[in-house]
Amino acid sequence: MVFFLQNLINALQWGSFYALIALGYSMVYSILMLFNFAHGDIFMVGAYIGFGVATGLVALTSMGAFALPNWLILVLTILISMFLTSFVGMIVERVGYRPLRDAPRASAAITGLMIGIILETGNLALLGARRLSFPALLKTHTYDLGGVFVTNKKIMIVLVSLALMGALHQFVRRSKWGMAMRAMAFDYVVVPLMGVSINTIAAMTFAIGSAMAAAAGILFGVAYPVLDPYMGILFGWKAFVAAILGGRGSVLGATLAGFLLGFIEIFVAMIFPSTLRDLIAYSIILLILTFRPHGFFGEPYSARLRL
Amino acid sequence: MRPFMNIIRKWFSQVPTMSLLFGALVAVLLERGLGDPLAEILGLPKVPVLFGFVTMLKKPMLIPSTILYVFLVFVGPISVVAGLSASIANRLLDKLLNFPMLFSVIIHLGLLYAILHLWSEASAYRLLMLKLTLIAIMVTLSLNVINGYMGEFSCSHPGFMALGAYATSVMTVFLFAKDRLFGPPILPPVLGPFMFPFALFVGGMVAALGAVFIAIPSFRTRGDYLAIISLAFMFIVKSLIENLEVVGGPRGLSSQPDYANLPTVFLWTVACVWIINNFVRSILGKALNAVRDDETAADAMTVDTRRTKIVAFMFAAFWAGVAGGLFAHVLRYVNPGTFGIQKLAEVLAMVYFGGLNSVYGSIVGAVSISVLGEALRPLEIYKWIIIPLLLILVMIFRPTGLIAFKAFNVRGLISPKHKPLGDI
C-alpha cells in the first residue's frame, strides 16, 4: 500500500506535465481542428525562457539590485515566462497555421513538424549543444507521511498545475473571451459572421496553450534541472497521445488522459523492467483506441470533420 | 533574357529523354576521363563530388571555378550532345515503336543504370549517397500510397522499415555470416547473393504482417486517431526491438553481408516504381482514391473499403520493409534508434515536398530532399533550419506538394519528340 501511494505521487507529478501540455493540443484542436505539432517544442522553448528569466532574476538578486526571496523568484519566473512564451505560440500560429487554414490538414501538420525542427535547431545554434541546468530555487524538503516520502517540489508541481488548470477552466467558462472560444469550437463558420474574429481567437488559443506549456516546462525544470534542446520531442508526442486519448478537442479529456498516461507509465515501470515502459504503455493505448476509437470524451464522426 | 530563354527552349523542344540520357552518359564519361586534369587546371583540390555544392559552400573563393567545372563537364556536354543526338534518337525511337514498349523501357533503364554506375564509381561517398537516395525513393513511394492515394495520415513507416530491416538482417546474418550473436554461417556463403532477394521478400512480408495491426483499427477510424495508432505502432516496434536481446537490443545488429550492391538496389527500386505505378492505376488504386475522397460514397458504389484498406496498408508496408532490408544491408549495421521520430519527419518531408498522389512527386521529393541534405552538409546545423523553412514555404504556396496529382506517364516519357507539323 505504501509502495502504491509512493508511486501514485510520482504518477501525479508526471501526469501533471503531460496534462498541462496536452491541454494546449486539445484547445487548438477544438478551435482549428488541427493539431499543433510544434507544441512539444514550445514546451522546450518555455523551459529555456524560464531558465533565462530565473537566471536573470537570481543574478540581479545576488548583485543586490533588489532582494527577492526564492519563492517569489519562482512565481515571477512562471508568470513572466508564460507571458513571453505565449508570443512564441502566436508567432507559430501566424507563420505556420494561418496561411494554411484552408489547405489539407496534413499540410498544416507538416508545417507544424517543421517549425518544431526549426525551434530545436535554432536553440541548438544559439546556445550550443551543452545541457543547461535550471537554477535551484527550491530547497528540497522531504516529508515522511507514514512511510510515504513526499518532497515539497512534488506537492508544489501538482498544486501549481492543478491551479493553472482550474484557472483555465474558469477562464473558458466564465469570461467573455472564453465564451468566444467555446462558440468558435461549436461552429467556426457562423460565429465569425457574428463579429468574432477567428484570427484573434486562434491566436489567443495558441497563446494560452503555449503559456500552459511554458508553465509545464518550468515545473519540469524545477523537478529535473537539466534542459536540452530535444526534451520537447518525447513530451510533445506523449502529450499528443494523451490529447487523442482524451478525445480530440476535449479539454477535460486531455487533462484526465494526461494523468492516466502518467499513471500507466509509472506503474508499468514499477512492475516491469523500465525498458519495457514504452512498449507496454503504447500497447495499452493501442488497445484502448481499438475498442474506443474516439477516445474518452471525443465525439464519433462529426460533420465538422475536415478530412 | 527572354530571347535567350527562347533559344534554350527551342534547342530542347525536340529532345527526347533518350538523348538526354546520351548526354548524361557522355558527361559522366568525360568526367571519368578528364575530371582530374580539369579540376587541377581550374585550381580545385579534387573533382567536386556532388556537383560542386559542398565545395562552393565550404570555400566561397572557389565558386567561379566550381561553376565553370560543372558547366564544362555536366551542363555543356549534356545540352550539346542531347541537342545533336536528338534527330538520331528520334529516328531510333520511331523504330522502337514497332516493338513492345518493354523493350524500349529496358534500353532507357540500361542507359540510366550505366550513367549512375559510372557516376558513382568515382567515390565511395557518391555510391553510398546514390544507394540511400534510391532507397528513399522506395520508402517515399510506399508512404505516398497510404498518405497520398488513400488520404490517411500514417506515421508507422519507420516501424515497417525496422521490421523489414531486422527480418532481412536476421535471415542473412543467421544463414550466411559469421556473427557473435548467431555463430558461424549455416549455409555456404556462396549461396548468399542468390538468396538475398528471398530474404528481402521475407522482410517485406514481415512488415506487411505488421501492417495488419494498423489496418484493422483503420476500419473504424480515420484521420487523427489513425495517426496516433500508427504512431503507437512505431513506438511499439522500436521498443520491442530494443528489448529483444536476441537481435542485439539497443546496440543494434551488425555484420550483414555486403549483398546490397548498386545493381541490386537499382533493380529493386525500378521494380518498386513499376509495381506501385501499376498498382495505383489499377482498379484497386482507383478504389483507394474513392476511399480517400468519400468513404461512405465509395462503400455505396460497391467498393469493399475494408479490403481496400487492408490491401493498401499491407502493400505499402511490404515495400517499406524491402526498403528497410536494403537499408540495413547498405549500411551493414542497423539499430532500433534509427527508426524513430527523426526518420518519420524525414520521410513525411519527402512525401509532402514532392507531392501527394503522384509517383513523379515522390521521386522528385525523395531525390531533392536527399541531395539537399547532403549538399547543405557544410552548413552543419543550419541545414536543419533551411530545409524546414523550404518545406514550410512549399506548404504555404503549394499545399499538396510540388508535383501533386500527376500521373506517371511512362509512354510519354520514352516516346520520340517530333517537330510539330506546321513548323517545317
DSSP for B331-387 reads HTEE-GGGSSHHHHHHHHHHHHHH-TT-HHHHHHHHHHHHHHHHHTGGGGGGHHHHH
Q: Which residues numbered 198-237 in B keep a CB inside 8 Å of some CB on A?
A: 213, 216-217, 220-225, 228-229, 231-233, 235-236
B153 in contact with A at a CB cutoff of 8 Å? yes
The x, y and z cell numbers of residue A103, run together, are 489547405
Mean pLDDT of successive 10-residue segments in chain A (307 residues)?
A: 85 92 89 87 94 90 80 91 96 91 84 91 87 83 83 90 92 90 84 90 94 95 88 87 82 88 88 83 84 76 43
**Strand, helix or coil at A102?**
coil
The whole-angstrom distance between A13's CA and the closest CA on chain B is: 23
A122 in contact with B at a CB cutoff of 8 Å? yes
A294 in contact with B at a CB cutoff of 8 Å? yes
Place of cell 460514397: B297
B139-160: string of b/e by CB count within 10 Å (b at 16+)?
bbbbbbbbbbbbbbbbbbbbbb
- How far, in Å, CA of A163 to CA of B405, rounded? 50
Contact B235 A278 (CB under 8 A): yes
B217-252: string of b/e by CB count within 10 Å (b at 16+)?
bbeebbbbbbbbbbbbbbbbbbbbbbeeeebbeeeb
- pLDDT on residue B420: 52
Locate the chain A residue with the closest alpha carbon to B392.
A111
Q: What is the pTM of this model?
A: 0.89
- How far, in Å, CA of A160 to CA of A158, rounded? 6
The residue among A97, A83, A78 whose CA lies nearest residue A38 is A97
Domain-embedded: residue A278: yes
- pLDDT on residue A303: 39
**Residue ranges of chain B that CATH labels 1.10.3470:** 124-412
Domain-embedded: residue A302: no
Domain-embedded: residue A180: yes
Domain-embedded: residue A300: no
Q: Kindly indicate whether the ipTM for this predicted assembly is greater than 0.90, answering yes or no.
A: no
| Domain of A64, in residue numbers | 2-291
Q: How far is CA B273 from CA A272, A304, B202, B267, in A?
A: 44, 37, 19, 10
Domain-embedded: residue A52: yes
The residue among A44, A39, A47 whose CA lies nearest residue A115 is A39
- How far, in Å, CA of B306 to CA of B283, rounded? 15
Locate the chain B residue with the closest alpha carbon to A246.
B225
Place of cell 488522459: A257
- pLDDT on residue A284: 86
- pLDDT on residue B158: 95
Residue A147 is part of a domain; what is its CATH number?
A: 1.10.3470
**Residues A49 and A214: beta-carbon distance below 8 Å:** yes
Domain-embedded: residue A113: yes
Greatest Cα pair distance, chain A, in angstroms, is: 61
Locate the chain A residue with the closest alpha carbon to B232.
A282
Contact A237 B341 (CB under 8 A): yes
**Residues A90 and A206: beta-carbon distance below 8 Å:** yes
The residue among A219, A175, A220, A176 whose CA lies nearest residue A195 is A176
> For residue A295, which residues of chain B lie inside 8 Å, CB to CB?
225
- pLDDT on residue A83: 96
Domain-embedded: residue A164: yes
Residues of chain B scoring pLDDT < 50: 421-424
Residue B194, phi-psi category: left (phi > 0), alpha (psi -120 to 50), beta (remainder)? alpha
Q: For residue A149, which phi and psi values (nearest 5 degrees)?
A: -95, 125
The whole-angstrom distance between A71's CA and the closest CA on chain B is: 38
Pick the CATH number of B124-412 from 1.10.8, 1.10.10, 2.60.40, 1.10.3470: 1.10.3470
Q: What is the pLDDT of residues B212-237, one digit of tens each?
A: 988 888 887 777 778 888 988 999 99
**Strand, helix or coil at A38?**
coil
Total structural domains within chain A: 1
